[in-house]
Every structure is written in structure tokens, then in C-alpha cells.
Amino acid sequence: MPVIVIESKNPVKRNAVLRGFQTHFPNVSFEIIDVEVPSGVREQPEGDEETRLGAVNRIQAARKIFPAANYWAAIEGGVTDDENQMSAFAWIVIADKQRTGWSRSASFFLPEKVADLVRQGVELGHADDQVFGRSNSKQMNGAVGILTANAVDREELYAHAVLLALIPFLNPTLY
């Protein structure tokens, strides 16, 4: 059974990665290992470069702990502040011993109250909890779920990007 090491114990990230793998490889059962590893970037990464670097760093750290795994997967959520409007997104990185797949999730704009807290150094999940009176929303539907009345939740947002990050594994002769 192939082993996937996921860089987080967050059930949303775990479920998104598993959902992507099961969609593309429906006849394969996977063993999942969750591991907490550092991103090497700020708690709330800003911009594409820092956010993607956080995911890459998590993959490298997970590889050191579980070098015999078949796959390593990382999801790093980030924000970008353009023209005084902040948006949220995530970078997904999936690797095996031969290739790496990358994808960025869709992005969405944050309400100003949430964005102001993030600008003050509060991590997005904690800012959501403060503004919306929630607890641990990042391990549930997240900001996107709250803002879309669960039409799109955090797992779904990430799952689409996981599917895209798996493209090199579906087309190995091209990558």
C-alpha cells in the first residue's frame, strides 16, 4: 500500500490530499501518515513566493522524517495584499522520489476586519475566529466556508488544487 506523508495533522488538509489521490487513483488504497513539520516561513505567509516556499520546506522536512514514503504532500495557506484588498489562497506541493507537482488554489478576498487583523500579525485562522466568533475554524470550513455559507469549504478549495498538483503523476512521460 503506497504511503502518503502529509505535513500537517489538520484534518482538512489530510482529507483534501486523500480526496485528490482517491479521485485520480480510485483502485489504490493509501496509508496516510500525518506529521507536524515547520514551514520555515512566517506563521502567516504573505505572497506567492513565501507561501510556496513554506510548502516546499514542509515537504523537505517530512522527507527527512519519513524517507521511505511513496509521496509527500504539503498545503500552505497564504495571503496577498494588493491595492489595500487582501486575498487568501494556498500552495499545494506533492512529491515522490522522481517528480514534484505544484498547484495554487483559487483565491478569494477577505473582509476588511479580518484583513486588518492579519496585517497586525494575526494568523488568518485566528483572525477568522476572532471576527466570526468561532473556535478553530481552520480545522473546519475555514474563512472560505464561513464567507460562502459553506458552498465552498476549505477542504473543497484545497482538493481542487491537489487534483491539479497530481497532473505530473498522471502524465509521468510528460514531466
Residues 86-93: what's their mean pLDDT? 97
Q: Does pLDDT of 142 surpass 90?
A: no
Phi then psi for residue 171, to 5 deg, are -130, 60
Whether pTM exceeds 0.85: yes
Residues above pLDDT 90, as percent of the chain: 87
Q: Does pLDDT of 156 surpass 90?
A: yes
**Res 1: pLDDT:** 93
Residue among 37, 24, 25, 107 at smallest CA distance from 72: 37
Q: Could you report the per-residue pLDDT of 114-126, keeping only the tens digit for each?
A: 999 999 999 999 9
Q: Could you report the per-residue pLDDT of 50-86, keeping only the tens digit for each?
A: 999 999 999 999 999 999 999 999 999 999 998 789 9
**Res 141: pLDDT:** 82
DSSP secondary structure string, the chain? --EEEES---HHHHHHHHHHHHHH-TT---EEEE-----SS-SS-BHHHHHHHHHHHHHHHHHHH-TT-SEEEEEEEEEEEETTEEEEEEEEEEE-SS-EEEEE---EEPPHHHHHHHHTT--HHHHHHHHHT-SSGGGTTHHHHHHTTTSS-HHHHHHHHHHHHTHHHH-TTT-
Return the domain boundaries, the chain: 3-107+152-170
**Res 83: pLDDT:** 79
**Res 82: pLDDT:** 86
Mean pLDDT, the chain, integer: 94
The CATH architecture that domain 3-107+152-170 belongs to is: Alpha-Beta Complex (3.90)
Residues 143-164: what's their mean pLDDT? 93
